[in-house]
Structure 1
Amino acid sequence: MEPFDNLKQQWKSQKLDKSIDIDKLKMNVVNSLINDQKKMIFTNLILSVAFAAVFMVLAWIWTSHPDRSIYFYASLTGMGVLLTVTLAGFWTGVQYKNEHTYKSTVEFITANIQKLNIRKFMLQKFVPAYLILLLLCLYFYFADILRGSEPMAKVLAYGLTTIYVAGVFYFSRGKRARQIKHTEDLRLDLEDLKEQLE
């Protein structure tokens, strides 16, 4: 057993060429980050176009139904605010500057870690809250639109909307979990690189 312990000690005492390892690690992490940012920008552009269409529909509904109750206007205003906050949150999670605009690589990494934390928050906490708040806005909308309707119409509207939102939440869990894991893995890689550089 003694020769093995000696060999192990020799192996541990070897000096590694850290500059090569750190440069290679930095290149891999930065390339991964750049690819991730491109995907995020593309996704946010599609989301922005979809939300712009929703804003137009909300504006059309608002103008084509004058003299409605407070529930109607509160629901449309709530949906508009919710969509705006969602877009702002997802765009805040995108890093627009490249490494050369920062004073140091560590500063660049720190900024990207903050952006990844925002993205993780949006995926993990905000999206479920968004769905619940959207459902509440739709309930307010139905309270005005379905006033005076038959009870069965109300039950169908509320029930189907609730089932739809619950389905969206349930079936999007896997994708969100993968996105959260990818974001967390990237953040941990950046943390490791930052530790190596400091």
Structure 2
Amino acid sequence: MTNFEELQHSWLSQSIEKNTTDNITPILQDKLEKHQRKLRRSNLFMSAGFVLAGSVIAWVYLTYHQQYRWPFDVSIGSVIFLMVVFAVLSWKSYSFRKDQRDVAGIDYLDNQIGKLKWQKKMLTSYVWVYTVLLWLAMVGYIIEVTKRGSLLFTFTALAITTIYIAGVSIWSRFYKQKQQLNAIDELLKNFEQMRNEIG
């Protein structure tokens, strides 16, 4: 055997580095697609709600801004800004990439893991930050709008708003978000396991 043949044989006998795992199981793919559909539908409804709410808020501002001082302007601007930022962050967690769905390549798995971790962070952290900042903006709005009324009226409006926002947040945390987090954790576990198999 010549040196070239030995080199060729040695080259061909080397194992090829594995950079894909087996095909994603149909069950996992169905779960991911179902999760993606729910997320897309939720984001679409949220975005439509934000557009509608933003339109009403803009109308309120344009109609009444001359009657109130700067806290009114700041609170209205803050609410609009918070809705836009929250919508952008929510859509960031949606995976628009559909390539390599049949074969779990490294890029595909890393993309899915990143999106799922972002969704989890949205539910566990950013929703709460958004809720607190929205409540603060509403407090500024209520105080400015009700300052000509009685103190009891202002406190009543603040109490109703606080109870409503707290109630929706608590219900969402212990019912809706719990289900979403369970689905995300299950998908994340499967994708991370596949990613670890690649190495």
TM-score range, shorter chain: 0.7 to 0.9
* Greater Cα offset, 169-178 or 155-164: 169-178
Q: Establish whether residue 50 from structure 1 lines up as the match of residue 49 from structure 2.
A: yes
**CA drift at 1:76:** 0.6
Query: For the residues of structure 2 that align with 1:43 and 1:66, how far apart are their CA atoms?
Result: 33
Residues 23 and 104, structure 2, Cα contact 8 Å, conserved in 1: no
Residues 29 and 190, structure 1, Cα contact 8 Å, conserved in 2: no
Q: Establish whether residue 37 from structure 1 lines up as the match of residue 36 from structure 2.
A: yes
- Structure 1 or 2: more helix by fraction: 1
Q: Deviations over 1:51-89 (max 9, x none)?
A: 110110111011001322111011011101110111011
**CA drift at 1:118:** 0.9
Cα distance change on mapping 1:195 and 1:28 into 2, 3 Å: farther
Aligned residue number for residue 187 of structure 1: 188
SS at structure 2 position matched to 1:23:
strand
Where structure 2 has 5 or more consecutive residues not aligned to the other structure, the ranges are 1-20
Residues 71 and 144, structure 1, Cα contact 8 Å, conserved in 2: yes
Aligned residue number for residue 58 of structure 2: 59
Cα distance change on mapping 1:177 and 1:104 into 2, 3 Å: closer
User: Identity over aligned residues, as a percent?
Assistant: 24
Residues 123 and 177, structure 2, Cα contact 8 Å, conserved in 1: yes
Query: For the residues of structure 1 that align with 2:113 and 2:122, how far apart are their CA atoms?
Result: 14
Query: For the residues of structure 1 that align with 2:106 and 2:133, how far apart are their CA atoms?
Result: 38
Q: Across the two proteins, how many residue pairs are aligned to each other?
A: 177
SS at structure 2 position matched to 1:44:
helix
**CA drift at 1:31:** 2.8
Aligned residue number for residue 73 of structure 2: 73
Whichever residue aligns with residue 28 of structure 2, its letter is V
* TM-score normalised by the chain length of structure 1: 0.83
Residues 113 and 192, structure 2, Cα contact 8 Å, conserved in 1: yes
**CA drift at 1:94:** 0.5
Q: Establish whether residue 137 from structure 1 lines up as the match of residue 133 from structure 2.
A: no
**CA drift at 1:178:** 1.6
**CA drift at 1:170:** 1.4
Aligned residue number for residue 179 of structure 2: 178
Aligned-residue CA RMSD (Å): 2.0
Aligned residue number for residue 168 of structure 2: 168
Residues 94 and 115, structure 2, Cα contact 8 Å, conserved in 1: yes
**CA drift at 1:181:** 1.8
Aligned residue number for residue 126 of structure 2: 126
Q: Deviations over 1:103-123 (max 9, x none)?
A: 971110101111111111111
Query: For the residues of structure 1 that align with 2:46 and 2:89, how far apart are their CA atoms?
Result: 12
Residues 65 and 72, structure 2, Cα contact 8 Å, conserved in 1: no
* TM-score normalised by the chain length of structure 2: 0.82
SS at structure 1 position matched to 2:71:
helix
Residues 76 and 137, structure 1, Cα contact 8 Å, conserved in 2: yes
**CA drift at 1:27:** 3.6
